[in-house]
Structure 1
Amino acid sequence: MDYLIIFLTTVTGLYFHGWLYVRIRRWMDRDLALSLAGKDEGKRAFMLAQLAHARSLKIKRRDLPKWLEATAAGYHAR
């Protein structure tokens, strides 16, 4: 019974750390997109949509900053 408790707490702890790692990465990516948008609300919405598009395209995380910068540079206010 002791081994079962140790196993369950270990698996639960590892799952929580993995979940937290993924959440922090997503927060950092969102913060990057919003920082490139500045204070313009239209551009902020556009950049969040582009971030979602980048995720759907499966752009690698190391390439994401350059991709978002290029996308932000191509934004035209409506």
Structure 2
Amino acid sequence: MDYFIIVVTTAAGLYFHWWIYVRIKRWMDRDLALSLAEGDKAKQTYMLEQLASARARGIKRRQLPAWLRQAAEQYARSDS
């Protein structure tokens, strides 16, 4: 019974750490996209759509900041 408790507790702890790690990564990505929007509500919506598009396309996390900056520049060019 002791081993069962240890296994269950360890598994729950590992799952929680994995879950919080994924949440923090998503929050950081969302924060990056919103910071590039510079407070403009329409641009915020656009940048969140671009973030979803990047996830759907499988853009690597290391390439995401450059990809989002490029999307923000395209928005600025199309807005002008």
**TM above 0.5:** yes
How many residues are aligned here? 78
Q: Give deviations 1:29-72, integer Å, cap 9, x for gaps.
A: 00000000011100000000000000000000000000000000
List alignment gaps of at least 5 residues for structure 2.
none
Instruction: Say whether residues 1:27 and 2:2 are aligned partners.
Output: no
**1:77 Cα deviation after fit:** 3.2
Amino acid across the alignment from 2:74: G
1:77 is matched with 79
TM-score normalised to structure 1 length: 0.97
TM-score, normalized by length of structure 2?
Answer: 0.95
Counterpart mapping for 1:19-58 below 5 A: 19-58=19-58
**Distance in 2, Cα, partners of 1:37 & 1:71:** 10
Matched, 1:15 2:12: no
- The runs of at least 4 aligned residues of structure 1 exceeding 2 Å deviation read none
Q: Is the 8 A contact 1:43 1:77 kept in 2?
A: no
- Computed over aligned residues only, the root mean square deviation of the Cα atoms, in angstroms, reads 1.1
Give the share of equivalent positions with the same residue, in percent. Answer: 62
Alpha-carbon contact 1:34-1:44 (below 8 Å) kept: yes
Higher helix share: 2
C-alpha separation between the residues in 2 aligned to 1:45 and 1:55? 16
* Alignment-mate amino acid for residue 37 of structure 1: A
Match of 1:6 in 2: 6
Indicate if the aligned counterparts of 1:42 and 1:77 stay in contact, CA closer than 8 A. no
